[in-house]
Structure formats: structure tokens, C-alpha cells
Structure 1
Amino acid sequence: MSTSAGPTPPRVTIDRHDPVHRRLEQLVPGLSASIGLTQRRFAPRVVRSRREIVHEGEAVAGIWTMRAGWAALVRHFADGRRQVQHLLLPGDPLPLERDAAYPATIVALTPVTLIDLDGTWLPDPALLDDALRRHTMATVHRLLDATARLGRQVAIERFAHLLLELRDRLRGVGLASDTHFKMPLTQEMLADTLGLTSVHVNRTLQMMRQQQLIELEGRAVTLLLPAELARMADYASPIDHPVAMH
């Protein structure tokens, strides 16, 4: 697993407002208390932007989980093209199964901080395995949504669906409201995620602004008409049960 150069970061604690705590509670209510999450101090790993976190086929021990930053499962092609297959957000575990080889390369899209939830301190490792199973099923559903986006939706529908998915996932870990969140993705990253060119991404974003569907200011996204976006994208209810940001 890749790490950044430099001094070792200090150990960190996790409180109930932390994305990791919120995500575990989404997956298995009561899990954080059962494993004593807030009583532990974790040694974080930091990966710089655009660096590989895990290479396809690599098996990494532990249950490394995103505490901060955005990453992605990606597929690289020989001619230099790249497809972002799935976005990883704060709170998301990396593995789909304990100690299994990763099915895709994971790249940090921004600086990423990871913590390992595994360890001898766990009273019952099966508790985290249950959370991983639920995380895996949620990931499968999102991969199916991504397949539908790329296969049957036009550009503006793809954008609407992706923005609503990101809103719901971030809201579940306290990083979004019903209409507002931060999205640190460049137009190049969005193009790789949505199967479009950067020019098409720019044109579609301008169209959505002109139609007063969204506002963009730096990294901040505001969904002006979320119900219309959901209708346009045929967006289904989220499979998780998000907790609204306070």
C-alpha cells in the first residue's frame, strides 16, 4: 500500500461525528460501540493525490478505511485512457472481502487519509465482516447504476444521477445537506467517471447551470432542483439510510 513521504502522522481518534463512525453505523447500527471505535487511537496512512493506494491483484491485510479524501477504482488502458469505475468517499472501507486481492487499482484523486479498522483489539472480527458484506452489496448496486449510466443515459442524465448519488452518500456521513456538498473532482476526473470528453463535460455543466438545475462555485455544488434532477435521471432511492448533516 502506498504512503506519502515525510514524517509519520500522529495517531488519531474517531468520534461519533467522524465519517468512519457514521459509515459503520450506516452499515451495522451499533457496530462502532460494539468494537469500541471511539476508545482507540489509530495510526493513519496518508497517500498523496494521483498516487496508487492499491494495485489491481494486490492483497493487503487489514480493513483500510477512508477517513478523508476521495479515491477511485480505475481501469487503465494501454493508450493512456482511464475509466473511473467507482468513487470512494470518506467513511468507505477499501476492501470488499477480508484479506482478498483487490479487483481493481485504487487511485487517490485527492490527498487521502486511511485508517485500519482491523486488529487484535476486536472483540469479534465477524462484526466487521458483516459490515464488509453490506458494503460489498452497496458497491455492487452502485456499479450496476454506473453501468446503466454509461450504457443508456445521455450526458445530462449521467450528471444528474451521479450528483444525486454523491449527495446521498456524502449526506450519510455528515458531509452534505439535501442540496449542497463539496465535490473535489476536476473536469478530467468527471470525464473519466462519466465516459465523456472534457469538452463534453464542460458543455453539459454549462447547460445545467443555464437551466438552473445546479450551481457550481469552486468545489461547492448546489442542487437547485433536486426533484427535477431525480426525475430526469430516473434516480432510485438510496440503498443506504443516510443521516442528514446538522
Structure 2
Amino acid sequence: MSAPPGPSPPRLTIDRSDPVHRRLDQLAPGLTATIGLHSRRFSPKLVRSRREIAHEGEPVSGIWMLRAGWAALVRHFADGRRQIEHVLLPGDPLPFEREASYPATIVALTPVTLIDLDGPWVPDAALLDAVLQRHTMATFHHLLDATARLGRQVAIERFAHLLLELRDRLRGVGLATDTQFRMPLTQEMLADTLGLTSVHVNRTLQMMRQQQLIELAGRVVTLLLPGELAHMADYPSPSTSRVAMR
């Protein structure tokens, strides 16, 4: 991984409330017990905000998972612009395949903590390969949603869809309720995710607040009318949506 080494943090354990534990339970029920996840002590890697974690084309080494903080798959352009193609949340694996290269550059949007699940203590490498396959399919669906957002939805619809997706994914790892979650994305990051200018982002957020669709208090987002937001964004209902890991 291309991130420069930071200070050596203390080794940590992963309990049942940890986002990594919750995500693994979604991706492969029973795996945490099989590999004895909570009996291990991991050496975390810390990466500062806005630092590169892995570069596009860099070979995968280890099964790194995001334990804390937010990161993103990004594409940079020669003139300095960038597109955030997919936001990575606590509990998400970084690689898509063990014997492959990273398909996009991964950047820390906030300070992040990473842990590597790979090691001789895993009884069968195929167990983690199955996790990565399911993670890859979930990410594929998110990328399809992002294509639809950018291609056919207006700004307020894009926002509504993204906020609902983030809520559902965070709720799956115990970091959101039905109506509230912390979102550390700046207006610049939102602009790069939604294909808008920062001015348009600010204007759209103000409109959503004025229409009493959402509340913003610091980094906390409250969805005041989640049903209206889902209708506006053509967001799937819980009975038809993919599982909460999205």
C-alpha cells in the first residue's frame, strides 16, 4: 500500500460491535467465528486525511479493511479535477481480488484506520476470497447507482439518493439510525461525488433544508422525511432493496 507509515498505534481487538465484524457477518455469516476474529490482536495502519492509500494499478498485498474513517475510489484528471467514484465506509474491504491490482486510486477522505485480515491464521484463503467476491458485487451495484445518479438525476435527486445509500450502508455496521448519521464529507467532496460545483452543492443543501427534508448540525445529517426523499430519488424500498451492506 502506498500510504506513508504513520506512528505505531497500539494493537487492537475487533469485538462484535466493530464495523469490521459487522461487515464480515453480512458478507460471510459465521466467518468471524471460523477465523477467530475477536481473539486476534491487529496492528492497525493509520493514514492521514487526503493521503493516498493505494494507487491505481498497484498490486494488492493483504486483505485490508477500513476500520474507522471514510475513504474513496477516485479518478484524477490532468487539469486537477477529480471524480469520487465510490465512497468507502467503515467495515469496507479495500481490494476486490487477492491476486489483482487496485482498479482505482484510493484516497483517505478523513483520517482512517486500516487492518489487514490476511495471515497464516486464516485456515483457508478461499474464505476471504468469498468475502471479496460479495464485496465486489455490492460495489458493482453501487457504481451502477452512481452512473444513474450522474446520468439522469437532477441535483436534489442525486443528493437524496446518495444520503439514503449512505444511511443504509452505515446502518448495516451500526453507525446510523433510520433517520440520522454522521457525514464527514465536505462540500468539495460532495461536489466531486455528485458531479456538481461547490456552489451548486451549497445551494441544493440549503434548498433541502428549507423544504424541511433534512437537517444539518455540524457533521450530523438528519433525514426529516426519508419516505419523501426515497420517492424523489426513486430509491428502492426496504422490501426490494439490496441488503443493508450497501
Task: Place the TM-score, normalised by the shorter chain, in its bin.
Answer: over 0.9
Name segments (4+ residues, structure 1) moved above 2 Å: 2-7
Alignment-derived partner of residue 81 in structure 2: 81
Which whole-Å deviations, capped at 9, do the CAs of 1:186-214 have from their partners, x for residues lacking one?
A: 00000000000000000000000000000
- Secondary structure in structure 2 of the residue aligned to 1:42: coil
The whole-number CA distance in structure 2 between the counterparts of 1:137 and 1:207 is: 34
The whole-number CA distance in structure 2 between the counterparts of 1:205 and 1:151 is: 20
The whole-number CA distance in structure 2 between the counterparts of 1:32 and 1:178 is: 26
Residues 95-104 or 5-14, more deviating: 5-14
- Say whether residues 1:205 and 2:205 are aligned partners: yes
Q: Superposition pairs for residues 88-237 of structure 1, below 5 Å?
A: 88-237=88-237
Structure 2: any 5+ residue segments left out of the alignment?
none
The whole-number CA distance in structure 1 between the counterparts of 2:79 and 2:6 is: 33
Alpha-carbon shift at residue 5 of structure 1 (Å): 5.0
Which amino acid is 1:155 matched to? A
Which amino acid is 1:188 matched to? E
The whole-number CA distance in structure 1 between the counterparts of 2:99 and 2:209 is: 45
Count how many residue pairs are aligned between Structure 1 and Structure 2.
242
Which whole-Å deviations, capped at 9, do the CAs of 1:204-236 have from their partners, x for residues lacking one?
A: 000000000000001000000000000000002
1:68–1:114: 8 Å Cα contact kept in structure 2? yes
- Say whether residues 1:63 and 2:59 are aligned partners: no
Alpha-carbon shift at residue 18 of structure 1 (Å): 0.1
Alignment-derived partner of residue 29 in structure 2: 29
Superposition RMSD in Å: 1.0
The whole-number CA distance in structure 2 between the counterparts of 1:47 and 1:7 is: 10
Alignment-derived partner of residue 240 in structure 1: 243
Sequence identity percentage: 81
TM (norm. structure 1) is: 0.96
Alpha-carbon shift at residue 6 of structure 1 (Å): 4.6
- Secondary structure in structure 2 of the residue aligned to 1:75: strand
1:54–1:106: 8 Å Cα contact kept in structure 2? yes
Alpha-carbon shift at residue 60 of structure 1 (Å): 2.6
Which whole-Å deviations, capped at 9, do the CAs of 1:112-137 have from their partners, x for residues lacking one?
A: 10000010000111111111111000
Alignment-derived partner of residue 44 in structure 2: 44
Structure 1: any 5+ residue segments left out of the alignment?
none
Alpha-carbon shift at residue 59 of structure 1 (Å): 0.6
CA distance change for structure 1 residues 230 and 6 in 2, over 3 Å: closer, same or farther?
Answer: closer
CA distance change for structure 1 residues 45 and 6 in 2, over 3 Å: closer, same or farther?
Answer: closer
1:55–1:106: 8 Å Cα contact kept in structure 2? yes
1:13–1:39: 8 Å Cα contact kept in structure 2? yes
The whole-number CA distance in structure 1 between the counterparts of 2:99 and 2:41 is: 22
1:4–1:46: 8 Å Cα contact kept in structure 2? no
TM (norm. structure 2) is: 0.96
Which whole-Å deviations, capped at 9, do the CAs of 1:74-133 have from their partners, x for residues lacking one?
A: 000000000000000000000011131000000000001000001000011111111111
Which amino acid is 1:95 matched to? P
